[in-house]
Amino acid sequence: MYLDRIVATKIREVEILSSTFSLSEAERKIAELPATRGFRDALTNRRNRSMGLIAEVKKASPSKGLIRADFDPVAIAKGYEAGGADCLSVLTDVDYFQGSGAYLQQVRDAVKLPLLRKDFIVDEKQIYEARLLGADAVLLIAAILTPSVLSAFTDIAASLSLDVLIEVHDQRELDAVLDTGKAVDNHVLLGINNRNLRTFETSLNTTKMLASLIPQGVPVISESGISGPMDIEFLKGTRAEGVLVGEYLMRQPNVEDAINGLLGALPEGRNRVRND
C-alpha cells in the first residue's frame, strides 16, 4: 500500500533528523522568528468571496507522476499570490512529490501569504522543523495518526503558533477526530480529502457526505481532485468554505490567470467585485 510506503519513508527521515535535532536549539531559534501569519484567519476572514482558496505548489505526485516539468516554485507561488489565492500549500516531501523543505523556505521569502507545510507528519520534530522552514500551518493526516498522537501534535503546533489542517477521508476518521475534541480548537481547520490515499480515486461526493456531519463553526476545506470551475460550483452546494487545489493549477501554463478563472467560479469572486 502506497500510504504505508510513504509512512515508512517518513519514519526513516525522522531517524535521520533525530541524529541532529535538538529540542532546546529548535525552541531557541523559533523564539527569534517573526510571528506566523494566520493561515486559518486568512481562509475564514477573507473578504468578497464565500470560499477560500489554498493553492498548492506541487511538482509531482504518486498518482500522476511528474505534473509540471518547468517547475519553478517561487514563480508559481508569486503567480498564485498575484492571482488572489488566500493561502499556499507547499509539498516538502522529496521522494514521492519531488518537493523540498528548501522550496518552502524560498516561497516564504518570496510571498506574504500564509503557508502550509504539506508533508506526512509522524513525529513532533517535523512540526518544529515546519516552523523553522517558515510554515504557518501543518497538515495532520488522521489516516496515519492515532487519535491521542493527533491530539498531542495539534497542541504542539499551537504551542509553536502554527495552525493545523486535520485531514480525514471517511466517516470513521472524522468520528475519531471529532471525539478528540480538537476540531473545535481555534487554530484548527478540518480538511476533507476527496482522494482515497490507498486507491488514489477521487470523488467530490466525499466532501458532500462528510461536510454535513461537521459541527458549525469548524472551518471545512475540500481537498484534492478539484479540476476546474465546475467542481467549485458543485462544492458551493456543500458546507465546505475553502478548497485546496494542486494538480489543476499546476497544469495551467499561466497560474495567475488560472487562479482568476477559478476564483470567477467562487461566489462574489474578487474578479466580480465592482468598485462603483
Ligand X SMILES: O=C(O)c1ccccc1NCC(=O)[C@H](O)[C@H](O)COP(=O)(O)O
Q: Which residues bind ligand X (CB under 6 A)?
A: 2, 56, 58, 61-63, 193, 195, 197, 200, 223-226, 244-248
Cα–Cα distance, 79 to 213 (Å, whole number):
35
**Is there a contact between 190 and 219 (Cβ–Cβ < 8 Å)?**
yes
Q: For ligand X, which is the closer residue by CB, 58 or 239?
A: 58
Report the distance separating Cα 245 and Cα 84, nearest Å: 13
C-alpha closest to that of 172 among 122, 206, 200, 216: 206
Q: State which residue, 97 or 153, has the beta carbon closest to ligand X.
A: 97
Q: Which is nearer to ligand X, 42 or 226 (CB)?
A: 226
All cell numbers assigned to 85: 489565492
Residue with Cβ nearer ligand X (38 or 62): 62
State the nearest-atom distance from the C-beta of 105 to ligand X, in Å: 20
Min. distance of Cβ 96 from ligand X in angstroms?
7
* Least distance between ligand X and beta carbon 27 (Å): 29
Q: How far is the CB of 140 from ligand X (least distance, A)?
A: 12
How many CB atoms are closer than 10 A to CB 261? 17
* Sequence letter at residue 45: N
Among 71, 58, 143, smallest CA distance to 99 is for: 58
The residue whose Cβ lies closest to ligand X is: 246
Residues acting as catalytic residues: 56, 58, 118, 167, 193, 223-224
Record the cell numbers describing residue 32, joined without a space. 527569534
